[in-house]
Structure 1
Amino acid sequence: MITVRGKTIDVLFSAEAIDAEVQRLAREVAAYANDDLVVVSVLKGAFVFAADLIRAMHHAGIAPQVEFISLSSYGAGTVGGDVRILRDIDADVAGRPVLLVDDILESGRTLAFARELLLARGALRVDLAVLLDKKGHRKADIEAAHVGFDCPDCFVVGYGMDVGHAFRELPFIGHVVG
């Protein structure tokens, strides 16, 4: 346990464990990808994971184009609804393979929307890479091709993920317990 900003956080995945998984995922992607790959990172939560993953992909021998998309399915509440595009990608994905990168796959609604959007724009295929998979909360029919960790059924923070705009900077993933 660690105390940050007066809150006690139980560390679920250490910085070292995360780094090992990111390296493994990069090698997994590099085994089939080439430099025509477009990596699309979902903002805001995936920015740390995506940055580490694309650097690891470089070391694994591939140089993808990197894009960012920002989507919202919550508005002011906490229950998912219609997905909106807040910031779109700039790249033309027609005829190209895409790796859609997000921090956590939970309900799957947002990622299913993004995957369908990219396929409708002509992407050759859209694979999904997530650091965390919270299987018990799935509402959409979608699975990730590349998964770092199975996520316990709790609200997680750190490594880009936040609660109330706090804790994104943590180098580990944890659960606020008090």
Structure 2
Amino acid sequence: MTETIEVLYDEATLSKRNEELATSIATAGYKKLLVVAVLKGSFIFAADLLRALYRAGVPLEVEFMSLSSYGTGTKSSGTVKVVRDIEVIVKGRDVLLIDDILESGRTLAFARNLLLERGANRADVAVLLDKPGKRVAEINADYVGFECPDKFVVGYGMDKAHSYREVPFVGYLP
């Protein structure tokens, strides 16, 4: 790749914020916690946050859900589809959804509502980045790493047409 990526949040900043989020989550009183990482974009953030939760002493189970509203574009299509569903029963459990970015809110609102319809006691949301100015669905995150400027971000699991996920920081293409 020849494009230069401008850094928004470096590795040290991301690590520190994950520890802070884990401390907040550890005091939230979750019972029978099931963490559901929304793939693909959240995979690095979810892994780092899960390790921070372990260090904070939070007992949990982990599942994965893949939802899509982007395809290969840079704007949401407006339609959310389940590409891969979780494999466990959520009825009677506390659920924490982890995603990379809360922008339009369609994907996370869809996932949260789906888990509540399936009987989750609660379905809270943790996101690395929040872009509240782009919201079209009625949803707010319970845990937010950073408020994101109005830029298309890449790195730390987030992509542009399936590239840049491996970049160890969050940045944008100028």
Q: Give the TM-score normalised by the residue count of structure 2.
A: 0.95
Question: Share of identical aligned residues, percent?
Answer: 57
Contact 2:31 2:93 in 1 (8 A): no
Cα distance in 2, alignment partners of residues 27 and 38 from structure 1? 17
Matched with 2:172 is: 175
Q: Give the TM-score normalised by the residue count of structure 1.
A: 0.93
Tell me the number of residue pairs that the alignment of Structure 1 and Structure 2 aligns: 173
Cα distance in 1, alignment partners of residues 129 and 30 from structure 2? 25
The one of 157, 160, 164 equivalent to 2:157 is: 160
The one of 62, 83, 87 equivalent to 1:86 is: 83
Matched with 2:20 is: 24
1:86-139 Cα shifts (integer Å, max 9, x gaps): 100011110110000000000000100000000000000011000000111000
Matched with 1:45 is: 41
Contact 1:108 1:139 in 2 (8 A): yes
1:100-139 mapped onto 2 (5 Å cutoff): 100-139=97-136
Cα distance in 2, alignment partners of residues 172 and 89 from structure 1? 28
Contact 1:13 1:172 in 2 (8 A): yes
Matched with 2:66 is: 70
Contact 1:33 1:62 in 2 (8 A): no
**Any unmatched runs of 5+ in structure 2?**
none
1:79/1:36 Cα in 2 relative to 1: closer, same or farther (>3 Å)? Answer: closer
Write out the 4+ residue segments of structure 1 that deviate beyond 4 Å after TM superposition.
Answer: none
SS at 2:65's partner residue? strand
Return the letter of the residue paired with 2:21: L
1:135-158 Cα shifts (integer Å, max 9, x gaps): 110000100010000000000000
* Root-mean-square deviation over aligned CA pairs: 1.2
SS at 1:7's partner residue? coil
SS at 1:8's partner residue? coil
